[in-house]
Amino acid sequence: MTLQEFLTFIVSSGGNAIIASWILERVPAFQALEAQVKQWVYFASVLGLAILGYVILTYVPQATLDSLAPIFALLYASFGSVFVGSAFHRVDKLDK
């Protein structure tokens, strides 16, 4: 996935909800909130990510996005590797 595709995913196909959920579920302060407050924080986070993605796609020069693309590729590959490694570790424990 390229940086452009990732930003488009955040803006238009539910990526904002996936990212907000993944981040907020790991924040202890969010877990301590009441259900109604959690809903509002989640909604604000999803909306904020969508707006941020739109602003980046619309107003950041393409040359800047192109220069950030290799860094994004490294982050994306590393993040994917962590998830694959975690799944492999759960499946392949030697102390079964």
Helices (H), 1-96: 3-12, 15-24, 28-31, 35-59, 62-91
Residue 82 has what pLDDT? 87
Sign of CA dihedral 34, 35, 38, 43: negative
Q: How far is CA 71 from the centre of its chain?
A: 15
- 31-50: pLDDT as tens digits: 999 999 999 999 999 999 99
Q: What is the mean pLDDT of the chain?
A: 91
pTM, rounded to two decimals: 0.80
Q: Tens of pLDDT along 4-25?
A: 999 999 998 889 999 999 999 9
